[in-house]
A = this chain, B = another copy of it.
Amino acid sequence: MKATLMYKSGDVRVVEVDEPTLQEPTDAIIRVTYACVCGSDLHPYHDLGDTPEGRRMGHEAIGVVERIGDAVTTLDVGDTVIVPFAWSDNTCAFCRDGMTTNCVHGGFFDGASSATQAEKLLVPQADGTAVAIPAGTDEALMPSLLTLSDVYLTGYHAAVRGDVAPGKTVAVIGDGAVGLSAVLAAKQLGAETVILMGRHQSRTDLGREFGATHVVAERGDEGVAKVLELTGGEGVHVVLEAVGHMPAYEQAYGIVRPGGTISRVGVPQYEDAPVGFTSLFGKNATLTGGPATVRAYLEAAIPQVLDGTIDPGRVFDRTLPLDEIAEAYRLMDQREALKVLIRP
């Protein structure tokens, strides 16, 4: 079968690999019908060293169940399922807390031996991980349903962990697909003022349609000053940080209101950061966030897509066949596309 491998920075190829086989009775194998490229796939695209064996790519998928292990009870062959970017048993103590990305039997498709930018995918802990979409669902809804695999629910996770609620003022840092998803999620959770910090107008225009009430194109100290000006000098109750680089973090603690919260879902490209008296502590600011616990939100989100409450699939502005996925990486890296849907 065909799968996407990355061999080093900038070198993405579709190659022939062995089809996955069931390894454990809790596994399922799906034929991938929708996949996509994630902003986080661009990190190795920028800095992966020589990897002669290749790294399997992709962690977002919708597909049709082809085979199930003997222990799988909630899925049937032929079901169309959404697969979150992390697998989880959905029964352990952490999963019961909703912390599915810390499942004791869990893992991430990123860097795993089977990944989603491929014709077929091995899904571990299939009962806990994959969620079926009702049979007969309109194909036009599939892009939005695919965003429940990661990008929309990552934005939603930021908003949930940040306690976005009616009456709160929210700033979203980053106008990538996760940032725009965070805008949509903040609006869903009742935020009145949503300030989107980003400077690519085609993206911030979609952000306005998703619910942003203000757009701040300035960055750094100028961006901080602008947000403070918009909030009467007080700062915002919640910052949703959807970038992961240090300047975004610095912007975040500059604009957060005393007692407010910074919720990060951009995977931090740093380990140490300011958290002392002059950044977080003096303001009684809260820092939260982490890998999105997508699985914990899936059942509630699917009906919202099916009934048209949300249309997060609008972040996809291009579609390419699997064979042309290298072009998808290039388009996103060059910011010629916001997010590319892949059809294996």
Q: Are A287 and B287 in contact (CB under 8 A)?
A: yes
Cβ–Cβ contact B284 & A276, under 8 A: no
Q: Which residue of B lies closest to A276 (CB)?
A: B271
Residue tally, chain A, CB below 8 Å to B: 38
Residues of B within 8 A of A101 (CB): 258, 284
CA A94 – CA B234 in complex, angstroms? 8
Taking the complex as formed, is A22 at the interface, i.e. its CB lies under 8 A from any CB of chain B?
A: no
- Are the C-beta atoms of A267 and B281 separated by less than 8 Å? yes
Q: Which residues of B contact A9 (CB under 8 A)?
A: none
A213 at the interface (CB under 8 A from B): no
CA distance A258 to B130 in the complex (A): 22
A282: chain B residues within 8 A (beta carbon): 102, 290-291
Q: A98-B259, A99-B258, A259-B94 are in contact. Are A281 and B290 (CB under 8 A)?
A: yes
Report A's interface with B, CB cutoff 8 A. Answer: 93-94, 97-99, 101-102, 161, 234, 257-259, 264, 267-268, 270-291, 293
CB-based closest 3 A-B pairs: A284-B290, A102-B258, A271-B276
- Seed contacts A97-B257, A272-B273; 6 additional CB < 8 Å A-B pairs: A99-B258, A270-B276, A280-B287, A281-B291, A282-B291, A284-B290
